[in-house]
A and B are shown apart, each in its own frame.
Chain A
């Protein structure tokens, strides 16, 4: 158990809908990262937050947005969903000493868009 939690575990929705994925980082971690893993592909970095502020942005679509709240949990919002958005979405966190650079991953949220 990495200490990172993600809800829900599975999500099935229809095209055009909007969903919210939630992540709680490990205790003491200030950074949260979001990744997308499509079928049989590697992980694509979407976005990073550090202590509530956006720190880095990767290949995140304009239909997607994220935020980190004062209690450090994060939410990834996906809107106007398309079939191609079906994927496993991972959250990771880092920042707690001594391995401040290592990212610890949550179990992922599997999104299926029908």
Chain B
């Protein structure tokens, strides 16, 4: 079975600063995908970034980047130049490949950006 662990239930960061959210996972699979989703107060689930396990290069999307350590089964999200709109719950998710079916979600990290 796959498990995803987010060990930081709540975090806060000053506006314009950098914050890193942690995620670890447990799997015996070699090929898989990893995702970060954010859920703002509107409760909409919004894709932040995705990473294929076979790619060594860390994914980057504007102010969001990941530190993917496959051997350590770690997938952290770094948010640079934090903005008030980044305040949200952030979920780490794992998906096996090639079955590409369900996501296994972590329990989430609630991030608050302080003005």
Q: Do A and B come from one complex?
A: yes
Interface set of A (CB-CB < 8 Å, partner B): 2, 31, 33, 35, 41-45, 48, 55-56, 58, 88, 90, 92, 94, 99-105, 107-108, 110
Please tell me if the beta carbons of A42 and B105 are within 8 angstroms of each other in the complex: yes
Question: Which B residues touch A45, using CB under 8 A?
Answer: 102-104
Chain B, interface size: which category?
Answer: 20 to 34
Please tell me if the beta carbons of A56 and B105 are within 8 angstroms of each other in the complex: no
Please tell me if the beta carbons of B50 and A56 are within 8 angstroms of each other in the complex: no
Question: Which A residues touch B37, using CB under 8 A?
Answer: 105
Please tell me if the beta carbons of A101 and B45 are within 8 angstroms of each other in the complex: no
Please tell me if the beta carbons of B101 and A42 are within 8 angstroms of each other in the complex: no
Give 20 new A-B contacts, CB below 8 A, not counting A45-B102, A45-B103, A48-B102: A2-B44, A31-B100, A33-B102, A42-B105, A42-B106, A42-B107, A43-B91, A43-B105, A45-B104, A48-B101, A58-B102, A90-B45, A94-B100, A101-B95, A102-B47, A105-B37, A107-B42, A107-B44, A108-B43, A108-B45
Question: Which B residues touch A99, using CB under 8 A?
Answer: 50
Tell whether B99 is near chain A: CB-to-CB under 8 Å.
yes
Tell whether B64 is near chain A: CB-to-CB under 8 Å.
no
List the 6 shortest-distance A-B pairs measured between CB atoms, nearest first: A105-B45, A56-B101, A45-B102, A42-B107, A42-B105, A43-B105
How many angstroms from the CA of A59 to the CA of B5 in the assembled complex? Answer: 19
How many angstroms from the CA of A6 to the CA of B33 in the assembled complex? Answer: 26
Question: Which A residues touch B97, using CB under 8 A?
Answer: 101
5 A–B pairs (Cβ distance < 8 Å), ordered by A: A31-B101, A99-B50, A101-B100, A103-B103, A104-B47
